[in-house]
C-alpha cells in the first residue's frame, strides 16, 4: 500500500478541524437564542420585551445570566439590535431614570453586560429568548451598578414612496440593577405626602395622592408601604397598599396613588406609612382634606327650603281657619 504524503494528512486534519469549528460555531449560534412562534401573527405595529427591570446581587469576580424576551409584533420581518447604556437618577420627579447614551454613569454597568449576538432577525409573531450575562470585575467595590440593555429596530424604506424618506427607529430597554454585597451608605426618606396639587377640598372622588421619596445614599432602594384613610369618626374607611417603587442614588422619586371612591362626604385624614426599603425604618406622614359634594349639598338645601315653604304655607292656612 502506498503511504499518503504528509501534506495530504495535514490537509485532511485541517479540513476536519475546520468542519469542527464551523459546526461548533453554527451550533452555538443556533442555541444562543431560542426562537419560537407565539401563535399570534396579528399586527400591533410594535414589539415587546420582558422583563423591563432585573435586580441581581453579584459578588466581585462572578457572573450571572438572566433571560429576556423580544417579541416581534411589527407586522413584518425585522432585524433587532442590542446596545448597552448606563442610566442614572434625577432630581426631576417627572423622570424615573435618565439614559446617558455614550456617556459613562457614576455607577457604570454597560461594559459588564454581554449577549451572544448583538443583532438578530425575527419574523412577525416570533419571540426570541436571549441570555444576558452580567460579569462583575474582581476589584469592584460594594454598592450598586446600573445599566440598560436596549433593543431597537428600524423601519424598512417604502419602495412605493418617491423621494427622501425618514427611517423610524423604535427602542425599548431592560433596566439592570446590580448590587455588590458589602458595607454601603443607605440614606433615603419620605419627604412629602399630599393630594395632587396640595388640594384640600373636593366635590367628589377619586382622590389622587402623591408620595415623594428622596434617596441621598449610594445604592438604590425600593420603598413601599400603605395609606390608611379615616373618616371624621376615626373609623378606617380604606387601606391602600403602596407597591415598591425604586429610587436611584441622588434622585427624587414620585409615586402617585389613587383612591377611587364614588361617594365621599365630610372630613378625612390620610396617613402614609412608608418603609424606606432598608433596615425596616418606616416614615409616617398625615394630612386632612374635605369632600363636600356640591350637587348633593344643593339638593339638600333646596329640599330644606321647599320643606320650610310647605310648613309655612300649612301653618298659615291653619291659623286662617282657626280664626
Residue 57's pLDDT band (boundaries 50, 70, 90)? very high
pLDDT at 194 over 80: yes
pLDDT of residue 27: 43
Q: Mean pLDDT in the chain? A: 87
pLDDT of residue 5: 54
Q: What is the per-residue pLDDT across 135-185, written as a single tens digit (0 to 9) for each?
A: 999 999 999 999 999 999 987 766 555 555 566 788 999 999 999 999 999
pLDDT of residue 22: 46
DSSP state of 108: B
pLDDT of residue 9: 54
pLDDT at 21 over 50: no
Domains belonging to the chain, first-starting first, are 32-156+168-180 (2.60.40.10), 188-295 (2.60.40.3880)
Residue 103 class from Cβ within 10 Å (0-12 exposed, 13-18 middle, 19+ buried)? exposed
Q: What is the per-residue pLDDT across 89-130, written as a single tens digit (0 to 9) for each?
A: 999 999 999 999 999 999 999 999 999 999 999 999 999 999
pLDDT of residue 178: 98
pLDDT of residue 4: 52
The predicted model gives 78-95 an average pLDDT of 96
% of the chain beyond a pLDDT of 90: 72
Q: What is the per-residue pLDDT across 166-180, written as a single tens digit (0 to 9) for each?
A: 667 889 999 999 999
pLDDT of residue 33: 84
Question: Among 6-10, 52-56, 69-73, whose mean pLDDT is lowest?
Answer: 6-10
CA proximity to 253, closest of 283, 225, 223, 227:
223
- Which run of H or E residues covers position 226? strand 224-230
The predicted model gives 286-298 an average pLDDT of 83
Q: Which residue has the higher pLDDT, 31 or 251?
A: 251
pLDDT at 1 over 50: no
Q: What is the per-residue pLDDT across 23-40, written as a single tens digit (0 to 9) for each?
A: 444 444 444 689 999 999
pLDDT of residue 26: 44
Q: What is the per-residue pLDDT across 202-241, written as a single tens digit (0 to 9) for each?
A: 998 899 999 999 999 999 999 999 999 999 999 999 999 9
Q: Where are the beta strands (DSSP E) in 27-168?
A: 34-37, 46-50, 53-57, 63-73, 78-88, 98-99, 113-114, 119-122, 126-135, 143-154
> What cell numbers appear for 323 in the block?
280664626
pLDDT of residue 74: 93
- State phi, psi for 35 to the nearest 5 degrees: -110, 130
3-state SS track over 144-208: EEEEEEEEEEECCCCCCCCCCCCCCEEEEEEEEEEEECCCCCCCEEEEEEEEHHHCCEECCCCEE
For residue 193, give Cα distances in angstroms to 39, 90, 164, 204, 287. 46, 19, 52, 20, 8
The Cα–Cα gap between 155 and 315 comes to 83
Q: Do 106 and 78 meet the contact criterion of CB atoms below 8 Å apart? A: no
pLDDT of residue 30: 45
pLDDT at 65 over 60: yes
pLDDT of residue 270: 98
Amino acid at each position: 500500500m502506498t503511504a499518503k504524503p504528509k501534506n495530504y494528512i495535514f490537509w485532511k486534519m485541517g479540513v476536519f478541524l475546520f468542519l469542527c469549528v464551523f459546526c461548533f460555531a453554527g451550533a452555538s449560534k443556533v442555541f444562543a437564542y431560542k426562537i419560537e412562534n407565539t401563535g399570534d401573527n396579528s399586527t400591533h405595529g410594535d414589539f415587546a420585551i420582558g422583563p423591563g427591570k432585573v435586580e441581581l446581587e453579584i459578588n466581585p469576580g462572578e457572573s450571572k445570566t438572566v433571560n429576556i424576551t423580544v417579541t416581534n409584533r411589527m407586522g413584518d420581518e425585522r432585524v433587532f439590535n442590542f446596545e448597552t447604556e448606563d442610566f442614572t437618577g434625577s432630581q426631576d420627579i417627572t423622570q424615573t431614570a435618565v439614559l446617558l447614551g455614550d456617556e459613562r454613569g457614576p455607577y457604570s454597568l454597560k461594559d459588564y453586560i454581554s449577549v451572544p449576538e448583538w443583532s438578530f432577525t425575527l419574523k412577525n409573531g416570533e419571540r426570541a429568548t436571549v441570555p444576558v450575562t452580567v460579569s462583575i470585575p474582581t476589584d469592584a467595590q460594594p454598592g450598586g451598578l446600573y445599566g440598560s440593555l436596549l433593543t431597537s429596530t428600524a423601519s424598512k424604506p417604502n419602495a412605493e414612496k418617491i423621494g427622501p424618506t425618514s427611517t423610524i427607529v423604535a427602542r425599548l430597554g431592560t433596566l439592570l440593577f446590580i448590587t455588590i454585597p458589602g458595607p454601603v451608605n443607605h440614606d433615603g426618606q419620605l419627604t412629602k405626602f399630599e393630594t395632587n396639587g396640595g388640594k384640600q377640598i373636593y366635590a367628589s372622588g377619586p382622590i389622587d395622592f402623591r408620595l415623594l421619596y428622596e434617596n441621598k445614599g449610594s445604592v438604590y432602594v425600593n420603598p413601599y408601604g400603605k395609606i390608611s384613610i379615616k373618616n371624621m369618626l376615626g373609623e378606617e374607611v380604606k387601606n391602600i397598599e403602596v407597591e415598591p417603587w425604586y429610587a436611584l442614588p441622588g434622585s427624587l422619586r414620585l409615586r402617585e396613588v389613587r383612591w377611587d371612591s364614588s361617594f365621599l362626604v365630610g372630613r378625612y385624614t390620610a396617613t402614609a406609612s412608608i418603609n424606606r426599603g432598608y433596615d425596616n425604618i418606616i416614615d409616617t406622614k398625615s394630612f386632612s382634606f374635605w369632600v363636600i359634594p356640591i350637587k348633593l349639598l344643593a339638593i339638600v338645601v333646596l329640599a330644606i327650603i321647599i320643606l320650610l315653604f310647605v310648613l309655612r304655607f300649612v301653618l298659615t292656612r291653619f291659623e286662617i281657619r282657626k280664626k
